[in-house]
Structure 1
Amino acid sequence: MNFQSIVVAVLFAWTFLQCLCLLAKRSSKSVGKKFPPGPFPLPVIGNLHLVGGQPHKFLARLAQKYGPVMNLKLGMINTVVISSSAMAKQALQKQDLAFSTRSIPDSLTALNHHQVSVAWLPVASKWRTLRKIMNSNIFSATKLDNNQQLRVTKILELIIYCQNKSQMGEAVDLGRAAFRTTLNLLSNTVFSKDLTDPYSDSAKEFKELVWNIMEEAGKPNLVDYFPFLEKFDPQGSRRRMTGYFTKVLNLFKDLVDERLEERKVMGTKNVDVLDSLLNISQERPEEIDTTHILHVCLDLFVAGTDTSSTLLEWAMTELFKNPETMKKTQAELADVIGKGKLIQEDDVIRLPYLQCIVKETCRMHPPVSLIPRKVEQDVNLCGYTILKDSQILVNVWAIGRDSSIWERPLTFNPKRFWNLEMDIRGLDFELIPFGAGRRICPGLPMSMRIVPVMLGSLLNSFQWKLDGNLAPQDLDMEEKFGITLAKACPLRAIPIPF
């Protein structure tokens, strides 16, 4: 018997024993209890064969058969999928604390990131401290107001870059351009310097690094379904993630070390976020140290750059697919702002159709398609018993395309929000692209200031033509699955001045 056969045999035997133990445990606890419906699991793999490479889509199809709360056996992991706004509200609002722990992909345990990351720490004192520090020093309304001129400057640089491309008759990779703008905005907010040249096609390497992190964390990994394989890392996912994290953390460490040297010479100051964090680490080292600062930056730059730029790229893609909608948006901008002018943040309130565009994009292309949670004890959800240690997946993508909520859900129709009092800030569970409850994305306030202004400025400064004379109906709408849903094929378009 060769080595592979031995591994398969051991895997089968181990999983079979685990299934027997689970069935015995479930039977002993099942008196008077009702468990969520779901497909019958196969030996060893359970229901893994049903998920496929686009899990949000496959899980949405399964939910149409088994209902809005569905139980799956993914390898050895009991998984409950929530696919309706009503059930999501019960879990993420009514029983938020019980569902507040995150299930952690094994790849994100690289360099012990999960132990110091505000995105993955359990809801406890350390998480509360770091979350409070982030909200107070980065995402509070006061801090965002103070940094408004910085956002104006960075969006102006984006427009100048597009003007340069226009003069040369060259296409703009809109996703990469938005990524570069967001990256420099964040780097100036945190470090008071650009991390890439705002006027060139730079930042490609950093963008690919960020996407590699998002993809590695989101793609199927045997260890996540068969935890006893953790020591072996058979697909090399944790090893690759260690390399990605190391590159990003080394970049931030150099910047932090440089600032510490400056502070030795010039004394303590308070210019940017980094200074604020260093001040806290000196005054209250039990709350945050240099390691936490580096990993907070990792969370901030990976999630902050990718979600905003991906949302912008999807919005522009949908507008190209729907040229009449693009014309209506540009007409509103010309009427309210004046053709060719940059959008200010205070203008957005006077641009209801632009706001509808952003909401509709969030509905159809949520930055995060599956919200991962975990229950640490048996929980009752609307009459169903959710077993302890079950992984929870809230399918935000499916909720956004639920035909019982949305008329013609597969059609991009911003007008559906025209007279609809619905926001994306986690209170209306029909539309939760940034999550909800105490674990809602902390960067939502910043993203919602950046995306409408960046989108409106691009639409109000140029007419746009798809690269290569591509017809709108021929645009590639395929998704690339990771923690975020990026476009598989980058959107390239030529800016033409009005």
Structure 2
Amino acid sequence: MLYILAVGCCVLLLAKVVLSRLRAPLPPGPKGTLWHGNLHQLPWVEPWKVFTEWTKSYGPLIYLHAYGRNILIVHGFGPAADLMDKRALLYARRPKWSMAALTGRSQNIAFMDHNERQRKARALMQSALNPRAQREWGPVLEAETTKLIQNLVISPEDYKRHVKWYLASFINRFTFGFEIDDAHQKMADELSAHTQQALRPGRWVVDIVPALIYLPEWLPGMGFKRWASEAKAKFNSFVDVPFQAIKRSVMSGSDDRCMVANMLREIMQGESKFDEPALISAASSIYTAATDTTAAILLNFLLLITTHPEVQQKAYAEIREIVGSDRLPHLADQASLPYINAVMKEVHRFNPVTPMIPRSPVQDDNYNDYRIPQDTWVMFNIWSIAHDSTLYADPDVFRPERHFASSKAEPEMDPREFTFGFGKRICPGSALANAQIYLVISTILSVFEVRPPLNDEGREEMPPIAYTSTFVSFPKPFSCRFVPRNNGLAQQLALMI
């Protein structure tokens, strides 16, 4: 009997060894240490650029181990499309951020698992924000954009605050139907900072040891839970207070018109395939999706147009020819302004606002003869795709003309094919984002010449083109001047206030 048992153990051990050798290897990557893995090799300043350099040594798939988890960096449009589009269900899940859950972001569709509530919330957002719904949000967007330009006429030096106010004001009017005030804007800024802090890699011990999430706040070392609890309370209040106010209004029979009110009426009358939890997730997610990322794109536009006056001249010449100089561009003009659309595409490409997109496979996967273990943090390097010289000639040059066909070549890839994401988690508000970015770009250029700041000697000094290394990448602080054009639009807008 002992003999048979010993033979059986040997057979099992041999089978395990054989299977481990037959199993596909992990992708290549820098060699780490026994205790810390690759922790000390991880780059913190513009990591997407460092990882792109690493592809010269390791290829498009780079495997790392840090913070107790497998990490895979994926480069190239082909591999990204293969995994996120062709294997969409397998890569539809976000990695688990313990701090995102603790701060109340777990019901935001950007961080939710790919479950029924997330699918309903996405579908709801798509139905509310798609081009067919433009009759609902288009007039609000044009009115709020006009207000932005008026604020820039009055106090151009506060342009960053005006951009943030504009985005928050539009989203709140569209979603909840109310005007914002200084207190609301201050809380929105605070919540945005909380989100950026919660997602910062390596900042929180609970992201390294997720089991800590279950320990009580009063224990030593649990300060992160107290911080997260306060952040969660503020976030829930930010979303719940206006939602409940709209709900009470709808139940009282009001005819309020906004996304939440319209959807609530359909849900209460049994005429909707959606439900209230999905609507709450959609309402809270719209603000997150449409403020930080869009602000980063608009500020990037201002930086790039300031430093590329020749592009600005061509853009304004097109506006003057097609729209004229006696009114602001409208949403209906977009199809007639190809150069403005090319500028918008190039702003997306030059510095993608989310340089890396995280996903996590729901089961083990094999790709290109390499093994990708379940729950790996798979980081798709979007910046690397946007600067791939096989897709874009001279990728480090800001040149909108690349998006036009010529006698020598077809237009280069529209970067929005990947900057808005892939597969099951592609941005559901891309139609609104495109319309909003177009409208701001075209209206600013129709009213102002955006110029570099003046130095102490009174000469123009170009601001440096530099970006933050945060989850949403913003231009680093810079200055520019808004000089009204001599077409009289600035004066007309000032008189309308």
Q: Do the two structures share a fold, i.e. TM-score over 0.5?
A: yes
1:117 aligned onto 2:108: yes
Call closer, same or farther: CA 1:264–1:146 in 2, change over 3 Å: closer
Give the unaligned 5+ runs of structure 2. Answer: 1-15, 406-410, 487-497
Call closer, same or farther: CA 1:51–1:119 in 2, change over 3 Å: same
Query: What's the counterpart of residue 478 of structure 1?
Result: 466
Output aligned runs, 1:54-453, within 5 Å: 54=45, 55-110=47-102, 112-114=104-106, 116-136=107-127, 138-165=128-155, 171-173=157-159, 175-196=160-181, 203=185, 206-221=188-203, 222-231=205-214, 239-265=226-252, 267=253, 269=255, 271-283=257-269, 287-289=274-276, 292-339=278-325, 341-419=327-405, 420=411, 422-426=413-417, 432-453=418-439
Call closer, same or farther: CA 1:41–1:469 in 2, change over 3 Å: same
What is the one-letter code of the residue matched to 2:402? R
Decide whether the 8 Å contact of 1:371 with 1:435 is kept in 2.
yes
| SS at 1:203 equivalent | helix
1:38 aligned onto 2:29: yes
Call closer, same or farther: CA 1:140–1:387 in 2, change over 3 Å: same
Residue by residue, what CA displacement relative to the aligned partner does 1:358-404 show, whole Å, maximum 9, x if unpaired?
Answer: 11111121121111100121112222221122111001011111223
CA RMSD of aligned residues (A): 2.8
1:496 aligned onto 2:484: yes
Decide whether the 8 Å contact of 2:392 with 2:412 is kept in 1.
no
* Paired positions, count: 458
Call closer, same or farther: CA 1:324–1:111 in 2, change over 3 Å: closer
Decide whether the 8 Å contact of 2:121 with 2:281 is kept in 1.
no
What is the one-letter code of the residue matched to 2:62? M
Query: What's the counterpart of residue 10 of structure 2?
Result: none
Deviation of residue 91 (structure 1)? 0.8
What is the one-letter code of the residue matched to 2:141? R
| SS at 2:199 equivalent | helix
Residue by residue, what CA displacement relative to the aligned partner does 1:140-159 show, whole Å, maximum 9, x if unpaired?
Answer: 32222332111110111111
Residue by residue, what CA displacement relative to the aligned partner does 1:171-212 show, whole Å, maximum 9, x if unpaired?
Answer: 232x33222112111111111122137xxx993553343233
TM-score of the superposed pair, with normalisation by structure 1:
0.84
Give % identity: 21
Decide whether the 8 Å contact of 1:249 with 1:295 is kept in 2.
no
Q: Distance in 2 between matches of 1:302 and 1:436?
A: 19
Q: Distance in 1 between matches of 2:63 and 2:336?
A: 45
What is the one-letter code of the residue matched to 1:150? V
What is the one-letter code of the residue matched to 2:148? L
| SS at 2:468 equivalent | strand
Decide whether the 8 Å contact of 1:103 with 1:374 is kept in 2.
yes
Query: What's the counterpart of residue 17 of structure 1?
Result: none
What is the one-letter code of the residue matched to 1:110? L
| SS at 1:481 equivalent | coil
Q: Distance in 2 between matches of 1:335 and 1:249?
A: 48
Q: Distance in 1 between matches of 2:19 and 2:67?
A: 22
Q: Distance in 1 between matches of 2:415 and 2:466?
A: 24
Query: What's the counterpart of residue 4 of structure 2?
Result: none
Larger radius of gyration: 2
| SS at 1:107 equivalent | helix
TM-score of the superposed pair, with normalisation by structure 2:
0.84
Call closer, same or farther: CA 1:469–1:439 in 2, change over 3 Å: same
Q: Distance in 2 between matches of 1:253 and 1:242?
A: 16
Give the unaligned 5+ runs of structure 1. Answer: 1-24, 427-431
Decide whether the 8 Å contact of 2:118 with 2:278 is kept in 1.
no
Deviation of residue 253 (structure 1)? 2.2
Q: Distance in 1 between matches of 2:92 and 2:49?
A: 24
Decide whether the 8 Å contact of 1:342 with 1:457 is kept in 2.
yes
What is the one-letter code of the residue matched to 2:34? P
